[in-house]
A and B are shown apart, each in its own frame.
Chain A
Amino acid sequence: MSIPLLNRRPSSGLGNVRESMADPARNIDWILMGCVIALNIFGAFIVYSASRPQLTRLGLDPYSTVQRQIAFLIISAVAMVLTMTIDFQLLRGRAEFLYGATLVLLVLVLIVGAVRGGARLSFDLGFFSVQPAEMAKVTTLLMLAGYLSDDRLDYVPYDTFINSLLIMVAPSVLILLQPDLGSASVLVACAMGVLLVAGVRIKYIVMISLFALISGVVAILSGLVRGYQLDRFKAFINQNSDDDALQNIIFQVKNAKRAVASGGLFGKGYLQGPLTNGSFIPVQKTDFVFSAIAEQFGLIGSGLVLTLFGVILWRIWRTAQMTRSQLGRFICIGAFTMILWQVFQNIGMTLGIMPVTGFALPYVSYGGSHIVAGAVLIGLVQNVHMRRLR
């Protein structure tokens, strides 16, 4: 398969005869692209502001974290372009292989993964580490969308529904074992979104919800959910608890809320946020990055970020509407629900309306795997958009 984007000759004079309205290269959604790039760049600045104080205090180069972030962004840009170039119909053919490989990696990470904070989330590759859970977001989506679109039906029969669930549950359980409740919840959200649009009966959706609920209870009772995950939930239920075990979480959320609140309308100004500068909010550059935005740029900045996410979601939704391919639609819807869930959950926990779950704000937070995975998701959506006219 040729790579049209790379083969494309520059436009000249009256134009390239090979160009047509349907040329994928001419159908890139630049608004979506622009929003993502804007978030990436804004994110890099925020990551710098949130990582600088601690680095300075440790006597390290204050730019070291943001430099890595920029490296990740470049890698993610390459990954996105690669994803865009490969026709998503062709990717469908590789879905089973990718999905299977992901499951293998998820099993492997449980065995040989690097331990960090009591969890095995990633492979440590020296310069950077890879989280297979982020990979699973893409491959599970591909697998699910591919499986559901094979039938070319506007509803989901019961056995298809069950198989779809199994596709989602297998990696989810492995991810839960790491344990990484956040990433698992993203897969569940993704599956729910795709199944909803695929035409699953409402009672099945209710079933998934019940399943999630029951498995949650079982997980807690069986001890699968570790103490701190339970604590996070407890801390969310009672945000003013005096329980010593919860104080770290409560402190984290309280300070995050304070940072948001102290931002006010216009914010304290870039690099001027006292709570951010004081490293008051643990894992601020990753999980609580929104608090740094809100403190430094106020309602204007947080509104802008929410707007950008809104536009991104709108463009993805629009692509899902426009594409004639059911596979493409399901891919877009999966990406849509995943991004929606991550944004809502991440910002929601910063604002104290969701319990604390450790995952990043897409496109903004510091991190390697999630930035690349997010870029690949956008790449898939662009892929669908570029080839929507086929």
Chain B
Amino acid sequence: MAAVNSRGRMTTLGGIAVALLSLLVVRVWFLQVVNAESMDERAQAIRTRTVRIPPERGRIFDSQGRIVADNERLLTITVDRETVKDDSVRAELFSRLSGPLEMPAEDIEIAFKSLRNDPLADIPLKVGVSEDTALFLRERGEDYPGVDVREDWKRDYLYAPLASHVIGFLGAIRESQLSLYLSLGYEPNELIGQFGVEQTYESELRGTPGYIKYEVDTLGNKLREIAYEPAIPGQDVVLSLDLAYQQFAEQALQTQLKVRQRTEAGKVYLAPGELDPGYAEVNYYKAPAGSVTMMNWATGEIIAMASYPTFDNRWFNAGISGSKFQSLFPNTQDPDQSILVNRAISGRYNLGSSFKPFTAYAALNSGQLPGGSTYRFKDEGTYTLESIDRSLCQQGVKCVFKNAVCSSSGSPCRYGWVDVEAALAVSSDAFFYKIGEQIMTQRNTNDILEQEVRKFGFGSSTGIDLPYEFSGALPSLALKKKLAESGAITEESARGYYVGDNVQFSIGQGLLSATPVQVARAYSVLASGGNVLRPHVVRYLLAPGTPDSKPGYADIENGRIIRDLRTSQVISTVDMSGDRREPILRGLKRVITGPGVTSDYYHKTTGEKLFANYPYEILPIAGKTGTAQGFNNLPWNDSSAFGSFSLALNRPFTVVAYLEKSGYGSQAAAPVAKCMWLAIAGQWRLPEVFPAEPLDVASTAVAKSQSMPNPQCLSTPYTGLRE
């Protein structure tokens, strides 16, 4: 029967239907009940978006609590590129945004189209909007789809350019650093400390980024917040620097360099005695650069560290163009003009006579001088090497070493009978030439002098908490070989380490190179009676969020110290017992106070006149001038060095000034140090420190120049003094 067959076939169809529907039911049941949880988790992963919250960078204070580096909250209005892909949608949105952003829609479009926009991130439309604007737009997220507020921080250096070399600046992660910083969890576009304390303490200052996790739709629109982890601000850094001294040091340095640039230097002659045509008849000191370092010899804290040429560290986040930056910080091969060099820690300097105290120590400690401090030597103005055969001397080997020329006689000064104390006081070269020769020739080992001065930290880095420190170099055969390899000296001269090399070494010349901070540390060893300290510019690290005590000042007294860097900074000690330290100290005191020696006539000590009006009874100090040879030997002026330290426990400071190509030690560096000492002694008013004016982006000066309101402290009772 037809119908029966038809019904049978319908049953088949019904069966198919039941089978298919059952399949759906089973599948739904499987997805929703059996598999539900794992699918749910994966669903969570895909529809969230994590927005990073940049942490507030730790602030930097000086030792008085002045806020040196602060942060400004920077709110940026951004738009999601996908949301406004469509031209008409974008035009409509921007015209509505122009009101709240207070800028014409065309300008918003220009910002949107800017080629500098990151192709992956949201596009910044306006940087630095007010909190009110940001709040307005946040509350109306529905009306402004894709629009977001990005929070960021802008570094501000309130006292720039003061201490720029020490504080440093922030910069983009360089290509070579990228893999390191990415592995540390940085974003590729983050700013990191690229100089100074900002660089050294990057990991402490940075803080920990937080995040907000949003639920988002396919278009990337935020639907709701599902997780929030606040950013942890970075630790605050308290410097040992005192900006009052820092400012004073910078002012004194810059003023003195300017003074020296206007001072007539001697005429430059060629070897036959003709006037060098490369130099004008009237030759001024070049005085291009220098540094002043003030250090606490009891703790190793750096109180002031000035380096010139200096810069305004606000240039680095001023958003200036590349060409503007090039004109401010020109690429130069001339070391005189290098700006981004902290000369106090990176300067490679001959020390001249300011090195003599350490040669003296080497002689006293190694027993080189028969009778120690009572040993006397007759300084005849020249010293002829005793270990070299006369015939060799006649064949051209340099055997005769002269003292500096005395202006009154026009010939090398003759100081007569001097002991180690007097030799330091008047800076008798001949006395130290002899040490330099005999400490090498009368010993089995050749490197006694090197070994002895290494104890003061010469030849190795001080470990100061600043980047790009130069570790210095001491003359030796190894150094000569290395220099010959790099082409600095000839292969021929590098064949051996000669007596002549050691003689030069003994008066701080030749291949010796050291940084001012090494000198400061070495003088501090003398001052403290043997402690070799690690100099440092940071006193301690404070827990994040140190409150302000008054405008411009942080309440560092009540901050919670996380890491104290004041303690245990002694690296090693130098034996100063017995007859080792006292004769040196007496000599260095005489440099300041006199008296000199009388031989034919009275020879003043190198600092006697300059410090004649120094109130020694208030703050006793000791020091040594140094003149690194240039003039008449090398085609530039002498560089001027002065190392000094106080003899008072209540003001345990060391001051080292080094002015490049500026003249004798007593002419350029010592006056700067004298100003510092007068200020430390309370006899000179430190100019008040005011926060800097906002950076003038149109300015062509890399740093606002500083000069002393009252440069009187630089002056000497009368001129004409020699080293």
Interface mask (B538-568 → A, CB under 8 Å = 1, otherwise 0): 0000000000000000000000000000000
Given A303-B28, A344-B20, are A197 and B10 also a contact pair (CB < 8 Å)?
yes
B323 to chain A, nearest CB (A): 41
Q: Tell me, rounded to whole Å, the shortest Cβ–Cβ distance linking A141 to chain B.
A: 15
Contact B47 A274 (CB under 8 A): yes
Asked if A340 is at the interface (CB within 8 A of a chain B CB), the reply is: yes
Contact call B43/A258, Cβ cutoff below 8 A: yes
Stretch from A37-45, A119-127, A131-139, A346-354 contacting the other chain: A346-354
Instruction: Please indicate the chain B residues that have their CB under 8 angstroms from the CB of A302 in the complex.
Output: 28, 32
Residues of B within 8 A of A59 (CB): 142-143, 145
Contact status of A313 and B21, CB under 8 A, knowing A154-B6, A351-B27, A351-B28: yes
B685 within 8 A of A: no
Stretch at the interface among A92-100, A172-180, A261-269: A261-269
A280 to B216, alpha carbons, bound, how many Å? 9
Contacts of A280 in B (CB 8 A): 47, 217-218
Q: Is A320 a contact of B10 with CB atoms below 8 Å?
A: yes
Set A155, A279, A294: member contacting B218, Cβ < 8 A: A279
Q: CB-defined interface of B5-49 with A at 8 Å, one 1/0 digit per residue? A: 111011011101100110111011101110110011011001100
**Cα of A196 to Cα of B28 in the assembled complex, Å:** 29
- Cβ of A264: which chain B residues have Cβ within 8 Å of it? 32-33, 36, 40
Segment 179-223 of A: residues with Cβ below 8 Å from B: 193, 196-199
B215 interface residue (CB < 8 Å to A): yes
Per-position 1/0 for B367-392, Cβ under 8 A of A = 00000000000000000000000000
Taking CB atoms, residues of chain A closer than 8 Å to B14 are 317
On chain B, the residues within 8 Å of A263 by CB distance are: 32, 36
Docked CA distance A324–B82 (Å): 61
A40→B36 CA distance, assembly (Å): 28
Cβ-based interface call for B219 (8 A): yes
- Cβ–Cβ < 8 Å partners of B634 in chain A: none
Contact with B along A270-288 (1 / 0, CB 8 A): 0000110111101000000
- Minimum CB–CB distance for A154 against chain B, Å: 3
Question: Do A262 and B43 contact each other (CB < 8 Å), given the known contacts A197-B6, A347-B24?
Answer: yes
B625 lies within 8 A of chain A by Cβ: no
**Which one of B9, B17, B217, B223 has the greatest number of beta carbons of chain A within 10 Å?**
B17
A255 lies within 8 A of B6 (CB) = no
Q: Give CA–CA (A176, B40) in the complex, Å.
A: 38
Query: For window 336-369 of chain A, which residues contact chain B by CB distance below 8 Å?
Result: 336-337, 340, 343-344, 347-348, 351, 353
For chain B, which range describes its interface: under 10, 10 to 19, 20 to 34, or 35 or more residues?
Answer: 35 or more
A193 in complex: contacting residue of B7, B13, B25, B46, CB < 8 Å:
B13
Instruction: Let me know if B10 and A260 touch, CB within 8 A.
Output: no
Residue B221 lies at the interface, judged by CB distance under 8 Å to chain A: yes
User: Assuming A261-B35, A280-B47, A351-B31, is B17 touching A303 (CB within 8 A)?
Assistant: no
Of B2, B7, B32, the contact of A294 (CB 8 Å cutoff): B32
CA distance A58 to B89 in the complex (A): 10
Give Cα distance in the complex from A154 to B223, angstroms: 61
- A313–B24 Cα distance when bound, in Å, is 15
Q: How far is the CB of B34 from chain A (nearest CB, A)?
A: 9
Q: Is A329 an interface residue (CB 8 A)?
A: yes
Q: Is the CB of B223 within 8 A of A333?
A: no
Of the residues B9, B21, B31, B218, contact of A306 by C-beta under 8 Å: B21
Interface residues of B in 213-227 (CB under 8 A from A): 215-219, 221, 223
How close is B6's CB to chain A, nearest CB, in angstroms?
6
Say whether A310 faces chain B, with CB atoms less than 8 Å apart.
yes
Contact residues in B for A153 (Cβ distance below 8 Å):
2
For residue A57, CB closer than 8 A to chain B, the reply is yes
Query: Is the beta-carbon distance between A154 and B47 smaller than 8 angstroms?
Result: no
* Pairwise interchain contact A294-B217, C-beta atoms closer than 8 A: no
Q: Are A260 and B31 in contact (CB under 8 A)?
A: yes
Tell me the B588-638 residues at the A interface (CB within 8 Å). Answer: none
Query: Which of A265, A275, A309, A347 lies in contact with B32, CB distance below 8 A?
Result: A265
Most buried by A among B28, B40, B42, B223: B28
A199 to B8, CA, bound (A): 10
Complex CA gap A261/B32 in Å reads 4
Q: In whole angstroms, what is the CA distance A259 to B43 when docked?
A: 8
Q: Are A197 and B43 in contact (CB under 8 A)?
A: no
- How many A residues have CB within 8 A of the partner chain? 55
How far does the Cβ of A310 sit from chain B's closest Cβ, in whole Å?
6
B46: contacting residue among A255, A321, A343, CB under 8 A: A255
The answer for the CA separation of A57 and B145 in the assembled complex, in Å, is 7
Please give, as numbers and ranges, the residues of chain B lying within 8 Å of A313 by CB-CB distance. 17, 21
Residues on A with C-beta less than 8 A from B142 are 56-57, 59
Instruction: Give the CA-CA distance A131 to B280 in the complex, in Å.
Output: 98
Nearest neighbor of A152 in chain B, beta-carbon distance: B2
Q: Is B217 in contact with A278, judged by CB distance below 8 angstroms?
A: yes
Expressed in whole angstroms, the minimum distance between the Cβ of A172 and any Cβ of chain B is 20
- Choose among B1, B9, B21, B33 the residue that contacts A310 (Cβ–Cβ < 8 A): B21
A340 to B177, CA, bound (A): 63
Q: In the complex, what's the smallest C-beta–C-beta distance from A2 to chain B, in angstroms?
A: 31
B20 x A340 contact (CB < 8 A) = yes
Residues of B close to A336: CB separation below 8 A = 13, 17
Q: What's the nearest-Cβ distance from chain A to residue B684, in Å?
A: 69
- Tell whether, in the assembled complex, residue B7 and residue A321 are in contact, meaning their CB atoms are under 8 Å apart: yes
Q: A197-B9, A261-B39, A275-B43 are in contact. Are A317 and B31 (CB under 8 A)?
A: no
Does A298 reach chain B (CB closer than 8 Å)? Answer: yes
| A54 shortest CB reach to chain B, Å | 8
Give the nearest-CB partner of B20 in chain A: A344
Please, which residue of chain B has its CB at the minimum distance from the CB of A281? B218
Contact check, A299 vs B20: say whether CB atoms are below 8 A apart: no
Nearest-neighbor residue (CB-CB) of B45 within chain A: A258
B219 touches A57 (CB 8 A): yes
Chain B residues with CB under 8 Å of A340's CB are 16-17, 20-21
- A199 contacts across to B, CB distance below 8 A: 5-6, 9
Q: Which residues on B sit within 8 Å (CB–CB) of A298?
A: 32
Residues of A within 8 A of B29 (CB): 299
Cα separation A53 to B145 with both chains bound (whole Å): 12
Which residues in B have their C-beta under 8 angstroms from that of A275? 43, 47
Residues of B within 8 A of A317 (CB): 10, 13-14, 17
Complex Cα distance A254/B218, Å? 13
Chain A residues closer than 8 Å to B143, beta-carbon distance: 59
- A-chain residues with CB within 8 Å of residue B16 when the two chains form the complex: 340
**Chain B proximity of A309: nearest CB distance (Å):** 7
What is the CA–CA distance of A303 and B47 in the complex, to the nearest angstrom?
27
Q: How many angstroms from the CA of A326 to the CA of B7 in the assembled complex?
A: 11
Task: Determine if A154 and B216 form an interchain contact, defined as CB atoms under 8 angstroms apart.
Answer: no
- In the complex with contacts A321-B7, A351-B24, A337-B13 CB distance below 8 A: yes
The minimal Cβ–Cβ distance linking B143 to chain A, given in whole angstroms, is: 7
Given contacts A154-B6, A275-B47, A277-B223, contact A265 B24 (CB under 8 A): no
Across-interface contacts of B13 in A (CB, < 8 A): 193, 196-197, 317, 333, 336-337
| CB of A256 to closest CB in B, whole Å | 10
Tell me which residues across on chain A come within 8 A of B221, comparing CB atoms.
57
Question: Which residues of the partner chain B approach A353 to less than 8 Å between Cβ atoms?
Answer: 23, 27
Digit string of B307-337 for contact with A (CB within 8 Å is 1, else 0)? 0000000000000000000000000000000
- Give the Cβ gap from B509 to chain A, nearest Cβ, in Å: 70
Complex CA distance for A337 and B13, rounded to whole angstroms: 8
Across the interface, A260 reaches (CB within 8 A) one of B2, B32, B218, B219, namely: B32
**Complex interface bits, A295-317 against B, C-beta within 8 A gives 1, otherwise 0:** 00011001100100110010001
Say yes or no: A321 contacts B10, CB within 8 Å. yes
Q: A57-B219, A306-B24, A351-B28 are in contact. Are A261 and B40 (CB under 8 A)?
A: yes
Other than the known A260-B28, A264-B32, A282-B218, what 10 A-B pairs have Cβ atoms closer than 8 Å? A56-B142, A57-B145, A259-B43, A278-B215, A279-B219, A329-B6, A340-B21, A344-B23, A347-B28, A351-B31
For this complex, 14 residue pairs linking A to B, each with C-beta atoms less than 8 Å apart, are A56-B142, A154-B2, A155-B5, A196-B12, A197-B9, A261-B39, A274-B43, A274-B215, A278-B215, A278-B223, A320-B10, A329-B6, A343-B21, A353-B23
Ranked 4 nearest A-B pairs via Cβ: A261-B39, A154-B2, A278-B217, A258-B43
